[in-house]
Amino acid sequence: MARVYAGLDVHGDQGGLFPWTSKMVDVGGAKQAVVDVGPRGAPVTFVLLHGNPTWGFLYRRFIEHLSKRFRVIAVDHVGFGRSDKPQDPAYYSLARHVANLDTVLRSLKATNVVLVVQDWGGPIGMGWATRHASDVAGLVVLNTWAWVKHPPMEIPWLFRWLVMGKGGWRRVVEKNLFTELFVVKGSGHKLSPAEIDAYRAPHPTPQDRVGVARFPLLIAPTHDPTHPSWGLMAAIEDALPVLADKPALIVWAMRDPAFKKDALSRWQSLFRNLDGPHKLADAKHYLQEHQPEEILGRIDAWVARTWPAGGATSAAKPRKPRTASK
């Protein structure tokens, strides 16, 4: 039988854990939800981008902490969180997600953006950032990727079988495998009943899970240039050097089965103005859930060095580049 959850409301406050309301932005054919809080006069705007199958709730501690001094925009990709859930699989593509983010940030007049990217937030965020480098003030890279050629993208066989092979679509949409296996059981952090409900709330029925099932199919393997995402991923990868001089912070979960040392090395080789990488020895893929205090501490220290005026100025003026820490 299909797994269905009754009595959950993604638009509620999740037992007080997510007290923010969301703005709905028309992105053409769907409404995209964003939390937009914090002072507009801050030097930078943090834009928080999640992956599969999470939503802005993953960044709840980030929103609470950072919005005291900065504008914070937490985006729910279409198909996730409080955003619309189109049921046509053809709606979902990497190009569409990037275009949606562009529409949202233009609609909200976001400037001096500091992207915080993890999982699919990487390709989507870097897809936007490489086209709008002048609007990027800095980058916070958590376990993610934004390439197809180097290092080679090879999808682990177990992941392929679970969510992409025969029966994979059914396991994702009917059994809600991503949430139940990867988040509830595999986050590396014991979730409370209210937290579990919050992750289940966006996708209570199989019809709501099409976006979750589509994301794995959008991963372009290196050996298949005919894949629909390959061309755009290659273009994003080739454009990454336009971000090389931006202030960057890397915090990396070392027990992540998805993004390992080769991905970390690729990010390290990109940035010339780098703080980190700061390695979290025990953290897994959803490191925002597992060790939020450690990440936020690193962000605070990085911000204090990069924009010493804190929230007192209206323009982002980063200090001179720092060398990468060892």
Strand partners, 255: none
CATH architecture of 23-153+225-306: 3-Layer(aba) Sandwich (3.40)
262 is catalytic: yes
pLDDT digit string, tens, across residues 130-167:
999 999 999 999 999 999 999 998 887 778 778 887 78
84 is catalytic: no
Q: What is the pLDDT confidence band of residue 323, given thresholds at 50, 70 and 90?
A: very low
User: Which is the catalytic residue, given 50, 77, 203, 285?
Assistant: 285
Residue 310 pLDDT class (50, 70, 90 cuts): low
- In the chain, the percentage of residues whose pLDDT exceeds 70 is 94
Burial of 223 (0-12, 13-18, 19+ CB in 10 A): exposed
Mean pLDDT calculated for residue range 114-126: 98
The pLDDT value recorded for residue 164 is 81
Instruction: Specify whether the CB–CB gap between 73 and 47 falls below 8 A.
Output: yes
Per the model's pLDDT, the better-predicted residue between 192 and 308 turns out to be 192
Q: What is the pLDDT of residue 162?
A: 82
The CA distance from 123 to 146, in Å, is: 5
Task: Encode pLDDT of 187-221 as tens digits.
Answer: 777 899 999 999 999 999 999 999 999 999 999 99
Question: 85-98, pLDDT tens digit by residue?
Answer: 999 999 999 999 99
Q: Provide mean pLDDT across the span 288-316.
A: 81
Pair type for strands 136-144 and 248-253: parallel
pLDDT of residue 314: 35
Q: Is the pLDDT of residue 13 over 90?
A: yes
pTM score of the predicted model: 0.94
Is residue 119 part of the annotated active site? The answer reads: yes
Choose, from 9, 245, 262, 282, the residue flagged as catalytic. 262
pLDDT at 246 over 60: yes
Q: Is pLDDT of 285 > 80?
A: yes
Sign of the torsion angle spanned by Cα atoms 246, 252, 123, 38 = negative
Which one is catalytic: 119, 197, 208, 256? 119
Distances (CA, A) of 120 to 12, 20, 39, 110, 219: 25, 23, 27, 21, 10
